[in-house]
């Protein structure tokens, strides 16, 4: 039986909200077990989590410590296509892929579990 697919959808602003950092930490921890296929999707202000300057974020250690682990799961980190925050992002040290709302909907439909932060 294949591993269940788990999609983490993160919409919180990492500058003011601790939930995106917690989502990254949980995704890295669950993915490390290799008993689930983890996908991480960042929307709106959550896209800023990919910034190389995480020291300005709430619980910044979760980004510097765990986001690279999520980036090693064999798929890119997914982000909202044309999110206005992408212009503020600058260079990201992590590989990411912009996807449309339709692609997100298809990904969610194919997932066994969808968690929203």
Question: H-type helices in the chain, by residue range?
Answer: 19-32, 60-70, 86-89, 101-110
Q: Is 12 left (phi over 0), alpha (psi -120 to 50) or beta?
A: beta
pLDDT for the residue 90: 79
Query: What domains does the chain contain, in order, with CATH numbers?
Result: 5-116 (3.40.1260.10)
The pLDDT of residue 91 is above 90: no
Q: What is the pLDDT of residue 101?
A: 98
Residue 11 pLDDT > 90, yes or no? yes
Considering only residues 87 and 1, tell me which one the structure prediction assigns the higher pLDDT. Answer: 87
Query: What's the predicted TM-score (pTM) here?
Result: 0.95
């Amino acid at each position: 039986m294949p591993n269940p697919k788990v999609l983490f959808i993160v919409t919180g602003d990492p500058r003011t909200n601790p939930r995106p950092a917690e989502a990254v930490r949980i995704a890295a921890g669950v993915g490390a077990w290799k008993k689930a296929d983890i996908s991480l999707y960042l929307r709106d202000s959550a896209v800023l989590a990919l910034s190389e300057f995480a020291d300005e974020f709430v619980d910044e250690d979760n980004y510097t410590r765990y986001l690279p682990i999520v980036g090693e799961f064999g798929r890119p980190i997914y982000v909202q296509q044309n999110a206005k925050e992408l212009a503020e992002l600058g260079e990201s040290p992590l590989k990411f892929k912009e996807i449309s709302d339709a692609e997100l909907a298809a990904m969610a439909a194919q997932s066994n579990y969808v968690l929203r932060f």
